[in-house]
Amino acid sequence: MAGIQEVGLLLVIVAVFVVVAVLSRGQLLNADILLNYAKDTSFVAIMAIGVMTVIVTGGIDLSIASIYALAGVLGALVLWQFGPVGPLAGNPWLGTLLGIAIALAAGALAGLVNGVAVVGLRVHPFIITLGTMQIFRGIAFLASRAQSIGNFPGAYTDGLVRHDLWLGGGLLPVPLLAMVFMAVLGTVYMGHTVAGRHVYAVGGNLEAARFSGLKTGRILISVYVIAGLCAGVAAVLANGVYGSATSNRGMSYELRAIAAAVVGGASLSGGRGTALGAVLGALLIQLIEQSMVTLAIDQNYYYPVIGTAVIAAVVLDRLSTRTTARRTAARERTDAGSKPGTPDSEKGESP
């Protein structure tokens, strides 16, 4: 079930949507605009789910967008081999499966590198992922030779990713369905599995989790692998939607993904965050951008608005945490004061 914060965020999204729809005289309700908005949101939302798992442990992943680009390029190199002009043309579905597998494997492997470096070197994840952000983007640049890679098999683009499904009387794009699936999967993993509870335990108190017998190193590595895998999934979808891959794809998307997770309720101090909140945060952030385009507002205002939203979310989170701590302390003092006094006979006094 959605928490109070998720419900509140959903109401904000609905309110913004209604206001913009009215101000734009219905332009935001255009079917093509809504479909493009859903597709663009899906990439950021899926990466935000991965970033959220890292943030819950008290870490950060600045390399998520570079992994997104790297997985896309490596998957594209395989897809091109089986494309119309590739040397292995004629096996489109084999190429599709291999291209997807390579992109997902590349994402997971990059995440594994991040996790092992954070745990093994005992360096703050901000520094590690700041470095790997450049490394992964550089590898993507070298692998693609700074060129756009396209000419994918039709089975991959039109046959799979661009094939909108007819459900409930309307067309639903595959990226949107994938986003919903990842949100459900993330919710089940984080909220209803032992592994997910261990992630929250590590984020709540690392030392306590270690002393309780949890293998904290493995848990920390696992969340970075999950983040990398989510970036790989987003890359698979983006390759199919755009029909090509470039090394500069997703520039600054790491900021959007982190902002989405934080706006969605993930605490940068660790211990709190949900997949649903991350998706709703991405929906709001992308809705702000889409609204500015629809209302013909200067796009240079986008980043100041998002930056303000992130700061506001963090400040509200800190205020909420302090308020909760004060109420808990006051309740404990009240409970202690309401306990009956010790009988005189137990104090050793004469009757």
Pick left, alpha or beta for residue 207 (phi over 0 → left; psi -120 to 50 → alpha; otherwise beta): alpha
Which residue matches tokens 């211990």? 271
**DSSP conformational letter for 274:** -
pTM of the model: 0.88
Proportion of the chain above pLDDT 90, given as a percent: 57
CB atoms within 10 A of CB 296: 9
* CA gap 114, 60 in Å, rounded: 10
Query: pLDDT by residue (tens digit) across 78-125?
Result: 999 998 888 888 888 999 999 999 999 999 999 999 999 999 999 999
Handedness of CA 42, 124, 191, 3 (dihedral sign): negative
pLDDT band for 3, please (50, 70, 90 cuts). confident
Domains in the chain (CATH in brackets) are 23-325 (1.10.3470)
Query: pLDDT by residue (tens digit) across 9-34?
Result: 899 899 989 999 999 888 888 878 88
For residues 4-23, one letter each, b for 16 or more C-beta atoms within 10 angstroms of the residue's C-beta and e for the rest, the string is: ebbeebbeebeeebeebeee
Cβ contacts of 69 within 8 Å, gap of 6 or more: 136, 137, 140, 235, 245, 246, 247, 248, 249, 250
